Structure formats: C-alpha cells, structure tokens
Structure 1
C-alpha cells in the first residue's frame, strides 16, 4: 500500500524519483545522486533561505557532498553541502570572493501535493580545506 502511495506522490509531483519508490521504506533515508534535478533544486532553495536571513554574508554552492531522500508526510531532502562566500547581493549569481567556506547540513521538506517547500533544518560550520 505504501509503495502505491509513494508512486502516486512522486507521479503527482512530476518527479523522476518514482522509479526508486518501490525500494524505499517509509522513514528510511535513501541515497540519491547529488547532481539530480530535484537535489539541486532543494540545495538551491536551502542556500537561498540561508542567504535571506543573513544578507550581510552571501554564500553559493561549491559542492554537494551527500544527498538522501526520506519519505515522510512528504519528501525530506537530506543534504550535506559545501558553500563558499561571495560578495553578491541576494539571488544574483557571481564569483566566490574569499576562502571562507561552510559545511552545511540541510533538510528541505517538500510536500508536492500542497506545492510546499520548507527548510526544516540547517546546521553550518566553518570548513577548512
């Protein structure tokens, strides 16, 4: 029953993750490719939210080091992302300007049938090369 529900959820959201839905157990995180469209969108959303609350320091994605999804009452994207500091203004792409980097753990919760996305966890620390 849950597998059918999962397929319907993914199908209704237009996500390509439906192919893996049969292998997912409810609540169990499952590794997914870090370069998938859905993971990139979730990571960009998380960084946008991080930058929105801290306009004096802006960051951009350097590398997504780990990506997992978890089926709950929606989809959790569990991400480990390396960020680099920029001098750009919010929402405008630009070059990295310093060696300051952050290693962040994000959880982005998406509820496709409600067209809802929220950054539910963010934890960042300075990253040494």
Structure 2
C-alpha cells in the first residue's frame, strides 16, 4: 500500500529535475526565480524607489520602470533578490506626490535618466518591518550612486 501511495505521489508531482540537482529551486534554501509581477516583488521595488527618492538630490521623482530579474530564498525569513530599473518622471519633488502611478516617465531627451538597481531584502514574517541588506543603483555612466545596508532605519550612504 505504501509503494502505491509513493507512486501516486510521484505521478502527481510529474517529471522534475534529477535528484541531487543544484539548479533552480531543487535545493532547499537556494534562491529561485519568481515572477517579476509578484505582489511582494512589486512592493519591494516601489519601496526601493521611495527610498531612492527620499535620499537623492534630484529635482524630479523616480519610479520603477522595469523589473529585470526577481528571486526568492527561504532563509530565517524570506529573502528577495531583485534587479530592476528606476527612471526619472515628469513629477517634481517639490509637489510631494506620493502616488508614483500618476507620474509619467520623462520623454526621451536630456532629462530622461534611468538607473539600474540591485536590491537584497529580507522579510521576517514574525517581526515587524523589513531589513534591507543592500540597495545599489547606478546609471550607465557612473559608479554606484546609492548604497544601502542594514535595517530600514540605517542611513543611506552615497558614493
């Protein structure tokens, strides 16, 4: 009876990677690719854009323009590793707009600017808040302009 249950379980799971494979999510605790459109990914990227806006000296707000890659890893909480882009909008900072959905991207030209960012974020469900392990953003022409490590309350350091 146990053999039949095991065969039924294996048939339900379908074909998968070979046992012992270290690619993808087959290894417990390893990072695995997730949907770029996942709600947690979108929230994390939006939070990173707000953090970038609060720390930058730019006259315009930036908003997420593309998620390039998203991964999740189960550790002592849930770790998200996300590569994304933020682009300058037409909304001036002085207007204090918090809804970035209302801000359109700058049209192509001298004011258009995009940063490629890498974020490493850990969410621990049984603790309030989140811990940003790393946030780096760089333009195509420069070294990293924003590096953030530690908890949400730690200062952001500029290079």
Unaligned residue ranges in structure 1 (runs of 5+): 1-21
Spell out the pairing of 1:60-99 with structure 2 (5 A cutoff). Answer: 60-86=63-89, 87-89=91-93, 91-93=98-100, 94-97=103-106, 98-99=111-112
Question: Which shows bigger deviation, 53-62 or 42-51?
Answer: 53-62
SS at 1:35 equivalent = coil
2:136 to 112, 123, 127: 123
Equivalent pairs counted in the alignment come to 106
> 2:124 matched to which residue of 1?
111
SS at 1:95 equivalent = coil
Q: Which one has the bigger strand percentage?
A: 1
Q: Which one has the bigger helix percentage?
A: 1
Unaligned residue ranges in structure 2 (runs of 5+): 1-24, 142-159
SS at 2:113 equivalent = strand
Deviations 1:24-56 (CA, angstroms, capped at 9, x unpaired)? 612x11100000111111111121122222253
Deviations 1:76-99 (CA, angstroms, capped at 9, x unpaired)? 110000110124435232111232
Q: Deviation of residue 115 (structure 1)?
A: 2.5
TM superposition score normalised by structure 1: 0.71
Q: Which has the larger radius of gyration?
A: 2
TM superposition score normalised by structure 2: 0.59
> 2:12 matched to which residue of 1?
none
Structure with more relative contact order (C-alpha pairs < 8 Å, separation 6 or more): 1
